[in-house]
Structure formats: C-alpha cells, structure tokens
Amino acid sequence: TQLQSSTVNFDVALHELLPALVQGGQVEMRGPQLWDIETTSRHLKEGGVTFARIPTAYWQQWLRTPPARADLAALRQITVGGEALPGDALAQWQRGPLAHIQLDNLYGPTETTVACMYRRTDAADAQQTVVSIGGPYGSRCVYVLDRFGNEVPVGGLGELCIGGLTLARGYLARPGLSADRFVPDPNVPGARLYRSGDLCRRRADGSIDFLGRLDQQVKLRGFRIELGEIEAALRQVEGVSAAVVALAGAGEARQLVGYVVGSADERTLRRALEARLPGYMVPGAFVRLEALPLMPNGKVDRAALPAPQAGEARERVAPRTVLEGELLAIWAAVLGHDALGVTDNFFEVGGHSLLLMQVASRIRQELGREVSLATLFQHPVVESLAAQLESGEVRAVEAIRRREAGSRIPLTWAQERLWFLWNLEPQSAAYTIAGAVRLRGALDVGAVRAALDQLVMRHESLRTRFVEEDGQAWQVVDEVNEASGYGWRMENLAGHSGSVALEAKVNALSREPFDLRAGPMLRVTLLGCGHEEWVLHLSMPHIVSDAWSQAILLREFSQLYTQAVSGDTDTTALPELAALPVQYGDYAQWQRRHLDAAALEAQYTYWEQELGGEQPLLELPVDRVRQGAAGSAGAWVERRVEASLAQALERVSHAAGATRFMTLLAAFGVMLGRYSGQDDIRIGMPVAGRERLETEPLIGFFVNTLVARVTPRGTQPFGEVLAQVKERVLGAHAHSQVPFAKLVERLQPQRSVSHTPLFQAMFDYSAEEGAPVGLPGIEVSTLEGGTGTTQFDLSMQVSGSTEDGGLRIALNYATDILDEGTVQRLLDSYVRVLEQVAAQPDVRIAQIGLQATERAPRELEHYTFVPVAQRIAQQAVQTPQAMAIRCGQQTLSYAQLDRWSDHIAGELQARGVG
C-alpha cells in the first residue's frame, strides 16, 4: 500500500495471521479510509492493535491531541516514514502520554522495494534537528558516495546509494534514466546500486543522516529550478567561499536569493552567473553573510537565513522618464510582480514569447503605440525599448467600441473559414473543443447550473447562432430571456466510474456534432458515477471558442461556482468578475473596419516573399497512400520528458537568444526533414490573435494560424537552423494580422481535397500545462478522452511546466494514412533530436542520430559524411584517368593522386606520424 498523509495502514502480527491462514481461515483486507485522529485512536483501542505503521505527517497530528495512555495499552510499537522525522517532534512525543510506545524511523524509496533502512529512536535522537534514518536491514547494503563514485569519509556529505537483492531492475521504457540511476556496485562484481538522489552524511557509528535532496528544486514563474545548480555555480566564482540559494517572498513577489560568504560583490556574482546559467536562474537578490547558519547536524539552517533587505536586493534602476515608467508598469502587470527596474531583461525575470504578446497588446492599448514582436525581442530592456519608441513615429490605434443596438454582426475572417468547413461536413467533430473532468465530493448541482447560467449571460459567444442572409453569413446573439441557454443533460452511470462504458460515453459526447444555425454553442453533460462521484463534460464548436477561451471559461466557472456555493443567490450580479469591456461581436465589427485591404497590403507582401512560389507538400513515409479526400479520423500518442532535458533546452535557447518554443519548433522541423528528405519544411503554428487588450477576457474564436519555414540542410549546425527559425518566427508574428484564409486566397497554392493548403503539420506550444478547474470541497482530476479527429496529417502539442518540471509531448495524427507504431517512432525520434541538441547545440543536422529503421532510403545517401580522401579513392576507381589537379603546367589524374597520397601516407607513418 502506498501510504498518504491522510491514510493509515495497520499490520497484523505474523504470529497471529499465519495460523489463521494455515487452518484455512480468512483475513479481511480493507482499503484505505480517511480517518481523523479520534477515529484512528478508537480503532487502535477497539482492535487491540500492537503494531502500527503511520506516515510521519499523520503521526505528527497526534502530537496536537494525543489520546490517553490507557486507550492504547496494547500498542507497543509505531513505525513512521515517508518524510524526515523532526527531532523536536520526537522530543514532544517522548514527553507525552505515549512515550512508552517504541517509535522507529523508516526510510526507503520505491526503487528499493520501499523500506530499506530504519532506526529505533532514543532520547539522543530527540536532541537532533532531524532524526537519523539508521542503517540497512535484511539483504540491503548502503553507501554514501561522492560525485566520482568514491565513499565519503565519516562526517562527509554524499549521495545515498542502495544495493541488495530487493533492487528494482530499472524504469519501464526509460533506459536512459535507468542507466543513470542504476549503476555498478564498486564492491560486488555484477551487482548494482540505486542512486537515490538524497544528500546524506555517515556518522561515526555507521548510521546515516538524511539532509535533503541533491536536486533541490523549486518552481518559479513556470520554471523548475534546481537550487543546487545555482549554488555550485556561485561557489565557482572567485572570492566566494560558501553559498546557498533559497526561494524567498510570497506569491508573485517570490524571487531567488543568493546567500554568499566571501568578498565577491553583487556585480561580479551576477555577471558570473549570467555567463553560466539561464536568466531565470540568476537570483534576484544577493545577501552577504559572515558565515552560513548551520543546524546541529551540519546542514544549512534555511529557516535562519535572513530576508534580503532593501539595500541588499538586486539593484533596481527606477524609471527616469514618463515613458519608462509606463512601460515598467506594463511589465509589472504582465509578469505579475513589481520588483523590476528599467535595466532588467524581460526574459531574465520570467518573461517568454507568449507574455511578450501581451506586452505588445498593452502598449498598443494603453500607450497608443504600435510595436512589433520583433522590436520587443530586439529591445527586451525597458530603457532600450523606451528609447526605440521615442525615436519612432507614434501611430494612433483605433479602439474597439460597443456596437450600436440592432446592428448586424459579421463573421470574423477566421470564423468565415470554419463556417465554410462546417457547411462541407456538418456532422464532423474535427472542429469541436471538448473535455471532461472527474469530480469527487459533495457537488452542488444547483451551484453548477447557477454558474453556467451566469457564464452564458456574461459571454455573448455562448448564445450566438449563425445565419445566412443576402448571400452573407451573420452572427445572431440571442437575448438572455429568449435563448435556449446551453445544452444541459444529467445521466446516471453509477457503477461505471472506471469502466470502458464511461470512456465510451465521454468519447461519444465529444464527437457529437453541433448545429451552428440552431445552437446551442455550449453543451454540458453531468454524469453521475456513484456516491459523490461525477464526470463533468463540456463541449463547444471551435467557431466560438479557442484554447484561451477554454481557460477563461474554466476559471470563471470556478469563481462563479464558489460564489454560488457560498450562498450568494443573486444570479444577475457578478461581484467577483470584472465587467467585460466589449463583446466578441464588437470585435468582429472592429476587425472588418480595421483590417481593410490597405492595412493588409504590407503584410501580404511579406508573406508573398516568405512563402511565395512553389508550395512543397510534406512527404512523410506514410503507411497508406491517401485515397481521395483527407479524412478527419485521428488519434494521439504522447510521452513526457524529464525536467533535466527541459532545463538543458532552456539553456540552449538562452545561449542562442531564442525562446524554448523556437528551439522545440526547430527540432520538429529537423525531425520532419530527416524523415521526408526535404530541406524546406512548412509548419503551421497557432497564435492567440488577441493583439487588443480588450479581447483578453473574452470567450470567442480569435486564434489565427501562421506558417513557419524550417530549412534544415545536412551540413548546417543546429544553431544556424535555430537562428533562421528565430528570425522567421519573429517575422511571422510581426505580420500576424493576415487571416489564414485570406493568406491562402492571396498565395493561391494548388488546392487539393487530399491535403490542407500551405502546410500539413502543425506545432503548438504552451508555456504551462493546463491545470484542472478548482472547486471548493471537490477533488478534481482531468479525464482523458477526445474527439477522435484530426485537422492535419500531424499535429504536435508540447506543454511546459508539468508537475515534475518536464515537458509533455503529444502527437495527433491522421489514422487514414499513419499507424500508431509509425507515429510513435516519429515521436521517439523527436525526443532523440532534443536530447542530442541539448547535449551538443552545434551538432550538424546530418549527424543527428535516428534509428536506422527510421531513415528513408534516400536519406542515407544524401546525408552520409564521406571524408575527402575516401571520396578521391572512390573517384579513382570510377574515372582513373580524369584530371584531378592542375598546378601550372603539371597535372595529376585521380589514379596518380590516389597513388601519391598512399605513398605519402606510408612515408609519414614510417616516420612515426599517427
């Protein structure tokens, strides 16, 4: 049983259990139950329990309300584990009414079949900050090793490595991680050790102290950061004798703080770290100390580290002009913290390209200045950006205004394309957005309905229909009192909470088509799956929603549900939600006026230069040739990569002045190029399309699709490909107002029903993986499922900032031409490209290794590197008499050159040249 802090597990004494089994008796096995302390104590008393095994955190709750000694007269021993046992808690236990019960401290990771070490605590342990984890028992053996694999002396610090018969064989489908964590035992030939990653110290008596994790990680502004890596870099700075890094502050004001013992000043420290680490890993403040505070066991006492004072914080340069102050205020609003100065680099204080788009939107809205994404990339420092804006021409920006009552609402350019596609296949779910969450707890169904009612009243997109009049499509917004609202259904699936039936039901709901003419645009189904267990399914047509909108809908639903549960029954007031500045229909009218032919002409020119001429099709090694029109049937494969690789890619991106999105996109293009044998790859990339600040809180279809070219040539180093991708991504964003449908009309590629125009592969990246909606008193988890459709031959989605700091990579594919095994190999090869790029950023494209079975036959000949001497020898066989070299009047044929080179090589070797 994997124990949790709210779960208690009891072992029956073996001498009582075995006779019952031998005599054919039965032993009742109960699943985990959620017990409070009083309930636990009562069961211990009534059952006459003599031995209990309890998580440390749960045991500590006993210290607040310990039961009377007489209530647990039979209990002789308690074993705690799961986290470090604090010495002060042990001292409190030993002073309490249950001091007669023997307390043992248990340690063991899953890889060693859990428990592998223990210590029987005594009075001396209560004097320690953290109780020792003792030594091994049974068939286990343990070592404390330094980073070179040598045993540390007594009192030395090192990594705890565990061996013995109970070791796991490795990780499933993760050979790289297995090889890193399971290493040869230096003392037992053929045996292995598990590297636990725990920082430990061996005592003189042979017992071991647990001091923490070697890979101490924190999460700051979406990045998973290893504090030990920063500390190691600090200790390498001249003038630093000791250093430790901690995460200080609360909420959005959190920042990394470096505590340093030595003579190095902040300027020296900062410059040294900026040369070694990505900007987000450079501490925001430094504090100089005479000595690091230590606990009795020698570990740094992080609780005793002083908070940085104003004088010790990162040097913050205040704005000197009004414009600098306005820009700095925009940065603070987008990044979510105020500790910024005009000399700070946007990307080094937590910014990324998606947030940079919000900066551009706010500058346009609040300052009335047009600034391209490329300009923001080139000037990521406020003082530089302010100077650039001051030197440029200020252009007024038309605001989005509320439309007049009764005016007809046109479709946006993006909606026109989806309206056309829906009319072709009204029963298709290819452009449906659907998702489901599992809810456990006392769900208030009335509050769910109240929250949804308010969402539909708040966002016009949720009560919009589409009609055709006078040969043109229009949006029609139903009034609240006339609208059918949203599609609401409740069904009882009791007993099917984990069955195939539930999965089939969720998938069927996701594939239900929408009638865009009649509505509704939001469909909600609540499935009852048992006692206090539900599945909430939501689906919407893409024509009124996008990924950004989904996040808005879930966030506001959570707020409105919480409000409804709290007892506020006024369904017309929204005190927790700010009023919407405009509605989607207002944006549609503004777009039609703003994006006229004259405004788009310059952007068209860019795209004609970038993509004009021949439009190559992506020639992947498919399993089946597509017959006729492209189908919409699709499926997914996915995998996750470790945080170490994600951080390495971040460093590669930072060194190249690019974003992680650009690096991931370039690697995707390289992988596609290697498989297709092409060196001109066109990849679609969605952009939020919310350049206007007024559009940020709206539910609606704003997303636009851009096209990125990746041109990986075999002799190029990856760094060159990345630089080209960076330039093209910036150019695409700077000309992102052209609707994709209009771009297709302008470029007029050869159209075919068998493939999408301009590109056949899509790449989508989000800086953070979406978290499930939070509801008070309800445990919420995402339920896997989907529409079973695809819009493109291949569509890759990468999400950053997963729970473990790694990346989630999912690949959607067209099942009419590709099999799952083929797509899985594509995904595995993509990860291999990422691994090699992270290890050697300047690796040449031709040298990036792929599985031999994954290479196209023509690719081997095209990319195989042959040394010049070998090429000359080959040519000497093919054309021996052809002239190879001419120097003045003297000539050499290939045959002569080959003989001379062999002769000279022999002479050199004879004289000792290797």
CB-count burial class (<10 Å; 0-12, 13-18, 19+) for 105: buried
**DSSP conformational letter for 206:** S
pLDDT band, residue 120 (cuts 50/70/90)? very high
Give residue 783's pLDDT. 77
Query: Would you place residue 299 in the very low, low, confident or very high pLDDT band (cuts 50, 70, 90)?
Result: low
Q: Give the C-alpha separation, 562 to 554, whole Å.
A: 12
For residue 250, what pLDDT is reported? Answer: 59
pLDDT for the residue numbered 280: 66
Q: How far apart are CA 559 and CA 577, in angstroms?
A: 8
State the pTM of this model.
Answer: 0.55
Q: Which of 56-70, 534-548, 725-739 is least confident?
A: 56-70
* Dist. CA 680–CA 136, nearest whole Å: 59
- Report H helices in 282-381: 322-335, 353-367, 373-378
Confirm if 809 and 639 have CB atoms less than 8 A apart: yes
SS3 per residue for 665-734:
HHHHHHHHHHHHCCCCEEEEEEECCCCCHHHCCCCCCCCEEEEEEECCCCCCEHHHHHHHHHHHHHHHHH
The β-bridge relationship of strands 794-799 and 761-766 is parallel
Residue 295 region by backbone torsions, left for phi larger than 0, else alpha for psi between -120 and 50, else beta: beta
Q: Write out the H or E segment, with its range, that includes residue 605.
A: helix 597-611
Backbone angles phi, psi at 129, to 5 degrees: -65, -45
Of 825 and 684, which is predicted with more confidence?
A: 684
What mean pLDDT comes out for the span 827-843? 92
Q: What are residue 775's phi and psi, to 5 degrees?
A: -125, 140
Length of the chain: 914
Contact call for residues 40 and 46 (beta carbons, < 8 A): no
In 3D space, the residue among 767, 795, 702, 692 whose CA is nearest the CA of residue 740 turns out to be 702
Q: What is the band of 652 on the pLDDT scale with cuts at 50, 70, 90?
A: very high
Q: Is the peptide bond before 306 cis (omega within 30 degrees of 0)?
A: no
| Range(s) within the chain of domains with CATH label 3.30.559.30 | 631-768+786-863
Q: Give Cα separations from 671 to 473, 619, 714, 732, 834 (angstroms).
A: 41, 12, 12, 22, 10
- Asked which of 70-74, 148-152, 298-302, 664-668 is least confident by mean pLDDT, the reply is 148-152
Based on C-alpha coordinates, what's the Rg of the chain?
Answer: 33
Q: Mean pLDDT in the chain?
A: 81
322-391: CATH topology: 1.10.1200
Tens of pLDDT along 748-773? 887 666 778 899 999 999 876 555 67
Max distance between CA atoms of the chain, in angstroms, equals 112
- Residue 165, pLDDT > 70, answer yes
201 DSSP 8-state letter = E
Which residue has better confidence, 352 or 656? 656
Virtual CA dihedral for 584, 585, 588, 592, nearest 10 degrees?
-160
Least confident of 4-13, 256-265, 673-682: 4-13
Burial class (CB in 10 A: 0-12, 13-18, 19+), 227: buried
Burial letters 111-134, b for 16+ CB under 10 A, else e: bbebbbbbbebeeebbebbbbbbb
First to last CA, the chain: 62
Residue 791 scores a pLDDT above 70: yes
E-strand stretches of 56-136: 77-81, 102-107, 117-120, 135-136
What are the pLDDT digits (tens) for 500-529? 788 888 888 988 999 999 889 999 999 998
Please tell me whether residue 832 adopts helix, strand or coil conformation.
Answer: helix
- CA-based torsion, 124, 125, 130, 133: positive or negative: positive
Instruction: Extract the tokens encoding 27.
Output: 């032993």
Contacting residues for 446 by C-beta, under 8 A, at least 6 apart? 564
**Reported CATH class of domain 9-212:** alpha beta
**Could you give the 3-state DSSP secondary structure of residue 525?**
strand
Query: Residue 383 pLDDT > 70, yes or no?
Result: yes
Query: Looking at the predicted structure, is the pLDDT value of residue 859 above 50?
Result: no
- Chain region(s) in the chain for CATH 3.30.300.30: 217-304
- Work out the average pLDDT over 559-580: 71
Higher pLDDT, residue 772 or 852: 772
Contact 658, 726 (CB under 8 A): yes
Q: How far apart are CA 711 and CA 728, in angstroms?
A: 11
Rounded Cα gap, residues 657 and 345, in angstroms: 12
At residue 214's C-alpha, the angle toward residues 211 and 217, to 5°, is: 110
Q: Is the pLDDT of residue 78 over 60?
A: yes
CA distance 822 to 813: 10
pLDDT at 860: 29
Task: For residue 591, count other CB atoms closer than 10 A to its CB.
Answer: 22
- Is the pLDDT at 312 greater than 50? The verdict is no
Residue 29, SS3 per DSSP: coil
pLDDT digits (tens, 9 = 90+) for 196-211: 988 887 776 788 988 7
Residue with tokens 């340069």: 317
Query: Which of the four pLDDT bands, split at 50, 70 and 90, describes residue 279?
Result: low
pLDDT band at 267 (very low <50, low <70, confident <90, very high): confident
User: Could you tell me which residue, 44 or 855, shows the higher pLDDT?
Assistant: 44
* Region of poorest pLDDT, from 15-29, 293-307, 335-349, 702-716: 15-29
Q: Which carries the bigger pLDDT value, residue 821 or residue 683?
A: 683
Q: What's the token pair of residue 503?
A: 């999965």
Phi, psi of 626 (to 5 degrees): -70, 130
631-768+786-863 is a CATH 2.60.120.260 domain: no
Q: In this structure, which long-range contacts are made by residues 894-901, counting pairs with CB atoms below 8 Å and at least 24 apart in sequence? A: 897/872, 898/872, 898/873, 901/869, 901/872
CA–CA dist 457, 33 (Å, integer):
42
Please give the C-alpha separations between residue 886 and each of 31, 509, 561, 879, 890, in angstroms, as whole numbers: 87, 76, 85, 16, 6
pLDDT at 482 (0 to 100) = 45
Span 217-304 CATH architecture:
2-Layer Sandwich (3.30)
Give strand pairing partners of 434.
539
Nearest alpha carbon to residue 117 among 161, 58, 76: 161
Top-confidence range, 29-43, 146-160, 433-447: 433-447
pLDDT more than 90, % of the chain: 25
pLDDT at 115 over 70: yes
Determine the angle formed by the axes of helices 660-676 and 718-734, rounding to 10 degrees. 110
Cα 881 to its chain centre, rounded Å, is 61
Q: What is the pLDDT of residue 63?
A: 79
Q: Taking CA 875 as the corner, what is the angle to CA 872 and CA 877, rounded to the nearest 5 degrees?
A: 115
What residue spans in the chain does CATH classification 3.40.50.12780 cover? Answer: 9-212
pLDDT at residue 226 is higher than 70: no
Structure tokens at 109: 């990771």
At 348 the pLDDT is 65
Instruction: Kindly tell me if the per-residue pLDDT of 103 is higher than 80.
Output: yes
Q: Lowest mean pLDDT: which of 25-39, 78-92, 872-886?
A: 25-39
Tokens of 710: 């990746």
31: number of Cβ within 10 Å: 6
CA of 765: how far to CAs of 142, 190, 360, 403, 801, in Å? 43, 44, 19, 34, 11
CATH number of 409-577: 3.30.559.10
User: At residue 9, does pLDDT exceed 90?
Assistant: no
Q: Each residue of 604-648: pLDDT tens digit?
A: 888 988 987 778 888 776 777 666 677 778 888 988 888 889 989
Residue 785 pLDDT: 66
Output the pLDDT for position 673.
86
Closest CA to 655 of 717, 716, 610: 717
Query: What's the pLDDT score for residue 7?
Result: 38
Q: What is the pLDDT of residue 802?
A: 54
Span of 206-220, 357-371, 419-433 with lowest mean pLDDT = 206-220
Sorting pLDDT into bands at 50, 70 and 90, what band is 495? low
Percentage of the chain beyond pLDDT 70 is 82
Q: Using an 8 Å Cβ cutoff, are 419 and 473 in contact?
A: yes
3-state secondary structure 57-87: HHHHHHCCCCCCHHHHCCCCEEEEECCCCEH
pLDDT of residue 413 exceeding 50, the answer is yes
CB 300 within 8 A of CB 244: yes
Stretch among 217-231, 495-509, 854-868 having the lowest mean pLDDT? 854-868
